């Protein structure tokens, strides 16, 4: 009887969501750094804070899925909520980095909600 590699199973089951979480974390990191270079940084404070929270949640969710944590669904639900809040805030700013971040957050939120519901 062939032995299945657990890492391969986890990768196939969660691959799209893990990829979306990692891409979202990177987009949030880029956005927060770009926001810090804007002329009115105080106006960008909420965006920066949400970027940081969202990136941290995305990394936690990706790690939980990679190790097939029994709490991955709950963590992905939290990640989806933070991604949605971050997307909403980023959409309110016209800069390209915020618009790109909003798109990454929306994709990640959708995939995390699907994963949490599975």
pLDDT digits (tens, 9 = 90+) for 63-109: 999 999 999 999 999 999 999 999 999 999 999 999 999 999 999 99
Per-residue confidence band for 118, with pLDDT thresholds at 50, 70 and 90:
confident
Helix (H) or strand (E) holding 117: helix 96-117
CA distance 32 to 58: 15
State the pTM of this model: 0.89
Whole-number pLDDT of residue 2: 46
CA distance 88 to 3: 45
CA distance 108 to 117: 14
Per-residue confidence band for 13, with pLDDT thresholds at 50, 70 and 90:
confident
CA distance 74 to 83: 14
Q: What structural domains does the chain harbor?
A: 6-117 (1.20.1270.360)
């Amino acid at each position: 009887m062939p032995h299945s590699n657990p890492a391969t199973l986890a990768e196939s089951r969660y691959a799209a969501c893990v990829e979306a979480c990692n891409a979202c974390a990177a987009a949030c990191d880029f956005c927060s750094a770009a926001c810090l270079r804007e002329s009115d940084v105080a106006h960008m404070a909420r965006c920066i804070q949400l970027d940081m929270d969202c990136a941290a949640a995305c990394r936690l969710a990706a790690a939980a899925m990679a190790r097939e944590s029994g709490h991955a669904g709950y963590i992905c639900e939290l990640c989806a909520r933070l991604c949605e809040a971050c997307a909403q805030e980023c959409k309110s700013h016209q800069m390209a980095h915020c618009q790109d971040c909003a798109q990454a957050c929306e994709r990640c939120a959708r995939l995390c909600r699907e994963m949490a519901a599975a």
